[in-house]
Amino acid sequence: MAFTLDRFSLKGKVAIVTGAGARQRSIGAAYAGGLCAAGASVVVADLNGAGAQAVARELTERGGRAVGMQVDISNPESAHRMADKANEVFGGIDILVNNAALMVELSYKPIINTPLEEWNRLIAVNVNGALICSQAVVPYMRKRGGGRIINQVSGGAYPATSGYGVSKLALVGITTTLAMELGRDKITVNAIAPGNVASEAGRMAAPDDSPFMQMLRNTVALRPTGEPDELVGALLLLASPAGDWITGQVLHIDGGWILRP
Ligand SMILES: NC(=O)c1ccc[n+]([C@@H]2O[C@H](COP(=O)([O-])OP(=O)(O)OC[C@H]3O[C@@H](n4cnc5c(N)ncnc54)[C@H](O)[C@@H]3O)[C@@H](O)[C@H]2O)c1
């Protein structure tokens, strides 16, 4: 089978991107734009429904096919409503990007001092949310004869040194486990681990003068910070037929921060 660039095309595919709507310059909005540009119809879903609709409107004005909707990924009924609506509007589901998470909202207390209520909220959104959304879409993917799940993790999981890092490491575990469970259904499950990204939330979480940014400036091979659009190439590889034989993997897109053998 000769390789052609058509293998990166997503024409006729339907994608859901969670967490693409609350802020300007979000990674989710960049992902939704990239998927539209590759030809997919995109459901932009966020806790902030009005924000999701604004992103979808912008994509539609640029010639894409997109709808926005409100979802709480930590609530199974809400996630099922999202999946049913995606199927109703676009006729199926092929791609799920589990991008929504709590990050800038977190207190980053040492986990030994984190009240259980705060911990449970973190796990409910960052870990359970991705599983709940996967459970909601997989029946639709099976009907299509395959699918793609892409989980957004983080360089902050290598190693985990915060509750946030623990949640992303757990999501790596969900990635490898689902990859095994869903392989025979031709559903691939992979993760993207970004480094420091200059989304609005990323800038708030890691101000220029923070010790974290200083550490990155001293250690990252290329440059410490990337733009949301610089993650999109990896997403399109994992979402398209070009990535047919890739599953259970974590792609580190971080300028050479986490160097793994
Ligand atoms: N910005 C970075 O430097 C960076 C680095 C590594 C990983 N990440 C990850 O990338 C993703 C996007 O980050 P971002 O910088 O665009 O941040 P962001 O805060 O703009 O995006 C997260 C989105 O998730 C949504 N969300 C939160 N709880 C939700 C829920 N219960 N249901 C539905 N939506 C919910 C928020 O409303 C928000 O729109 C996150 O998973 C984050 O952990 C970001």
What is the gyration radius of the CA atoms in the chain, in angstroms? 17
| Number of domains within the chain | 1
Contact 26 CB / ligand 1 (< 6 Å): yes
Parent domain of 77: 10-253
Residue position matching structure tokens 């010790």: 211
Determine, yes or no, domain membership for 53.
Answer: yes
Determine, yes or no, domain membership for 261.
Answer: no
C-alpha to C-alpha distance for 144 and 14, rounded to whole angstroms: 11
Contact 167 CB / ligand 1 (< 6 Å): no
Ligand 1 centroid – CA 105 distance (Å): 9
Q: What's the chain's average pLDDT?
A: 97
What backbone phi and psi angles, to 5 degrees, belong to 107?
A: -85, -20
Ligand 1 centroid – CA 201 distance (Å): 8
Contact 28 CB / ligand 1 (< 6 Å): yes
Residue type, 225: T
Contact 32 CB / ligand 1 (< 6 Å): no
Using an 8 Å Cβ cutoff, are 222 and 255 in contact? yes
pLDDT exceeds 90 at position 206: yes
User: Hey, is 102 helix, strand or coil?
Assistant: coil
Q: Which of 24, 158, 199 to mutate to test ligand 1, by most ligand atoms within 8 A of the CB atom?
A: 199
Using an 8 Å Cβ cutoff, are 191 and 127 in contact? no
Crossing angle between the packed helical segments 163-182 and 129-144, to the nearest 10 degrees: 20
Determine, yes or no, domain membership for 4.
Answer: no
pLDDT in tens, 71-87: 999 999 999 999 999 99
Give which of 138, 142, 170 is closest to 156, Cα–Cα: 170
Using an 8 Å Cβ cutoff, are 17 and 69 in contact? no
Number of the ligand 1 atom closest to the C-alpha atom of 72: 32
Residue type, 78: S
Q: Which of 27, 77, 105 to mutate to test ligand 1, by most ligand atoms within 8 A of the CB atom?
A: 27
Using an 8 Å Cβ cutoff, are 136 and 79 in contact? yes
Determine, yes or no, domain membership for 258.
Answer: no
Ligand 1 centroid – CA 99 distance (Å): 6
pLDDT exceeds 90 at position 23: no
pLDDT in tens, 221-256: 999 999 999 999 999 999 999 999 999 999 999 999
C-alpha to C-alpha distance for 200 and 218, rounded to whole angstroms: 23
pLDDT exceeds 80 at position 22: no
C-alpha to C-alpha distance for 73 and 93, rounded to whole angstroms: 17
Determine, yes or no, domain membership for 202.
Answer: yes
Determine, yes or no, domain membership for 190.
Answer: yes
Determine, yes or no, domain membership for 1.
Answer: no
Determine, yes or no, domain membership for 5.
Answer: no
Q: Is 164 known to be catalytic?
A: yes
Ligand 1 centroid – CA 152 distance (Å): 9
Q: What is the CATH number of the domain that holds 191?
A: 3.40.50.720
pLDDT in tens, 153-204: 999 999 999 999 999 999 999 999 999 999 999 999 999 999 999 999 999 9
